[in-house]
Structure 1
Amino acid sequence: MTAAESVGRVGAQRRIETPDATTLAALAGEHLDLVRAPFTLPRSRVLVFREGDGVRVHTSEYERTLAECRVLDSLVVRDASGGPLAITRVLPHVIEFGGGVDLTFAGPGALTVGRVAAPEAMRIETSDEGLDTHAGARSSTGGSGSTGVTVEWTTPDGVLTRVELDDDTAAVRLDIGADRMVRHEASGTHLADLAATEAIWLDWFARCPVVRSDLQSMTAFCWWVLGANIVELPALGNARAVVPSKIGYVGLWQWDAYFIAVGLRHGDPALAREQLEIAFRFPSGDGQLPDVVHEHGVLATSDDLPPGDRENLRRAGSAVADPSAPVPLTKPPLAAWALAKVLDVEAADEWGRRQLATIRRSQDWWFAASDLDGDGLPEYGHPYSSGLDDSPIFDGPLPTTSPDLGAYLVLQDLELARFADCFGDADAAAHRLRAERTFGLLMELWDDELGLFAARAAGAEVVSDTVVGLMPLLTGSLPEAIVDRLVAALADERRFAAAWAVPTVALDDPDFSPERMWRGPVWVNTNALVVEGLRASGRIGLARDLAERTVALVMHGGGPHEYFNPLTGEKAATATTAFGWSAALFVDLAVELSSETTSVE
Structure 2
Amino acid sequence: MEQLSTWGGGQLLAFSGLDGPTDYRSGLVARTATAGGTGVEIMLPAYAHLRFDAATPHETDITGDSLAVGTASGSTRMVFLDAHHVLIEGPCAVGKLPDELRSVSRGDRMLVGSAAHFDDALLESDFETTWSARRRWLCDRRGLLTGEPEARKRTAVKCLSIMKTQVCSPEGKITHRWTTPDRWPHRNMWLWDSAFHAIGWRHVDAALAKEMLLAVLDMQHADGRIPISNNPFFEKTSGYTQPPVLTLAAALVDELAPDDEWLAAVYPRLRAYVEWDLKNRDTDGDGLLEWAIEGNPGCRSGESGADNSTRFDSATQLDAPDFNAMIALELELLAAIASRLCRPDEARELLSRQQTICRLMNERLWDDDAGLYIDAHAGTAERTGVLSYAGFLPLICGAASREQAGRIVSHLSNPATFGRPLPIPTISASDAGYKKDMWRGPAWVNINWLVERGLRRYGYTKEADRIVTTTCEVIERMYAQLGSIFEYYDDEDALVPPELDRKGANDGSRWIHRVIHDYGWSATLYVDWTLRGRS
TM-score (norm 1): 0.75
Matches of 1:59 and 1:233, distance apart in 2: 22
The residue number in structure 2 matching 1:222 is 159
Matches of 2:317 and 2:154, distance apart in 1: 44
Matches of 1:454 and 1:186, distance apart in 2: 59
Contact (CA 8 Å) 1:234, 1:295: kept in 2 or not? yes
Deviations 1:548-586 (A, max 9, x none): 111112112224210111112531353101000000011
Deviates more, 1:536-545 or 1:227-236: 227-236
Pick closer, same or farther for the CA change 1:40–1:483 going to 2, 3 Å: same
Contact (CA 8 Å) 1:376, 1:438: kept in 2 or not? yes
The residue number in structure 2 matching 1:49 is 32
Deviations 1:510-531 (A, max 9, x none): 1111x21101000000000000
Contact (CA 8 Å) 1:171, 1:186: kept in 2 or not? no
Letter in 1 for 2:62: L
Structure 2 residues not aligned, in runs of 5+? 23-27, 294-300, 502-513
Matches of 2:109 and 2:253, distance apart in 1: 44
The residue number in structure 1 matching 2:247 is 336
Pick closer, same or farther for the CA change 1:442–1:332 going to 2, 3 Å: same
Letter in 2 for 1:456: A
The residue number in structure 2 matching 1:91 is 62
Instruction: State whether structure 2 residue 324 is matched by structure 1 residue 406.
Output: yes
The residue number in structure 2 matching 1:471 is 393
Instruction: State whether structure 2 residue 129 is matched by structure 1 residue 195.
Output: yes
Pick closer, same or farther for the CA change 1:277–1:240 going to 2, 3 Å: same
Instruction: State whether structure 2 residue 366 is matched by structure 1 residue 446.
Output: yes
Paired residues for 1:429-578 under 5 Å: 429-444=348-363, 445-458=365-378, 459=380, 460-513=382-435, 515-558=436-479, 559-568=484-493, 570-571=496-497, 572-573=500-501, 574-578=514-518
Paired residues for 1:415-434 under 5 Å: 415-425=333-343, 427-434=346-353
Matches of 2:339 and 2:447, distance apart in 1: 29
Pick closer, same or farther for the CA change 1:39–1:250 going to 2, 3 Å: closer
Deviation, structure 1 residue 463: 0.6
Deviation, structure 1 residue 376: 1.3
Contact (CA 8 Å) 1:418, 1:428: kept in 2 or not? yes
The residue number in structure 2 matching 1:207 is 141
The residue number in structure 2 matching 1:171 is 109
* Number of matched pairs: 487
Instruction: State whether structure 2 residue 39 is matched by structure 1 residue 114.
Output: no
Contact (CA 8 Å) 1:525, 1:581: kept in 2 or not? yes
Matches of 2:370 and 2:55, distance apart in 1: 62
The residue number in structure 2 matching 1:155 is 96
Letter in 1 for 2:414: D
User: Percentage identity across aligned positions?
Assistant: 22
Pick closer, same or farther for the CA change 1:373–1:183 going to 2, 3 Å: same
Q: Which of 192, 199, 213 is equivalent to 1:276? A: 213
Q: Which is greater in Rg?
A: 1
Deviation, structure 1 residue 384: 1.8
Matches of 1:298 and 1:270, distance apart in 2: 29
Deviation, structure 1 residue 48: 4.3
Pick closer, same or farther for the CA change 1:243–1:266 going to 2, 3 Å: same
Deviations 1:410-429 (A, max 9, x none): 11111011111111246100
Instruction: State whether structure 2 residue 306 is matched by structure 1 residue 384.
Output: no
Letter in 2 for 1:381: A
Pick closer, same or farther for the CA change 1:245–1:348 going to 2, 3 Å: same
Pick closer, same or farther for the CA change 1:396–1:237 going to 2, 3 Å: closer
Contact (CA 8 Å) 1:489, 1:496: kept in 2 or not? yes
Matches of 1:378 and 1:84, distance apart in 2: 53
1:104 is paired with a residue whose SS is: strand
Deviation, structure 1 residue 502: 0.7
Instruction: State whether structure 2 residue 42 is matched by structure 1 residue 58.
Output: yes
Q: Which of 250, 255, 263 is equivalent to 1:352? A: 263
Deviations 1:181-224 (A, max 9, x none): x77568332xx243224223222442363262241111111111
Matches of 1:299 and 1:539, distance apart in 2: 45
2:412 is paired with a residue whose SS is: helix
Deviation, structure 1 residue 392: 1.6
Matches of 1:177 and 1:347, distance apart in 2: 45
Contact (CA 8 Å) 1:218, 1:555: kept in 2 or not? yes
Instruction: State whether structure 2 residue 50 is matched by structure 1 residue 74.
Output: yes
Contact (CA 8 Å) 2:29, 2:183: kept in 1 or not? no
Matches of 2:305 and 2:434, distance apart in 1: 18
Q: Which of 516, 520, 531 is equivalent to 1:580? A: 520
Q: Which of 272, 296, 301 is equivalent to 2:233? A: 296
Deviates more, 1:153-162 or 1:577-586: 153-162
Contact (CA 8 Å) 1:233, 1:294: kept in 2 or not? no
Matches of 2:173 and 2:413, distance apart in 1: 47
The residue number in structure 2 matching 1:134 is none
Matches of 1:360 and 1:283, distance apart in 2: 12
Pick closer, same or farther for the CA change 1:384–1:336 going to 2, 3 Å: same
Contact (CA 8 Å) 1:467, 1:505: kept in 2 or not? yes
Contact (CA 8 Å) 1:262, 1:585: kept in 2 or not? yes
Contact (CA 8 Å) 1:153, 1:160: kept in 2 or not? no
Deviates more, 1:346-355 or 1:214-223: 346-355
Pick closer, same or farther for the CA change 1:550–1:153 going to 2, 3 Å: same
Letter in 2 for 1:106: L
Pick closer, same or farther for the CA change 1:403–1:193 going to 2, 3 Å: same
Letter in 1 for 2:184: I
Deviation, structure 1 residue 535: 0.7
Contact (CA 8 Å) 1:334, 1:412: kept in 2 or not? yes
Deviation, structure 1 residue 380: 1.2
Matches of 2:281 and 2:311, distance apart in 1: 17
Matches of 1:431 and 1:263, distance apart in 2: 27
Q: Which of 187, 201, 204 is equivalent to 1:264? A: 201
Contact (CA 8 Å) 1:360, 1:416: kept in 2 or not? yes
Matches of 1:557 and 1:329, distance apart in 2: 33
Deviation, structure 1 residue 38: 3.3
Matches of 1:160 and 1:107, distance apart in 2: 15
Instruction: State whether structure 2 residue 80 is matched by structure 1 residue 105.
Output: yes
Matches of 1:194 and 1:429, distance apart in 2: 59
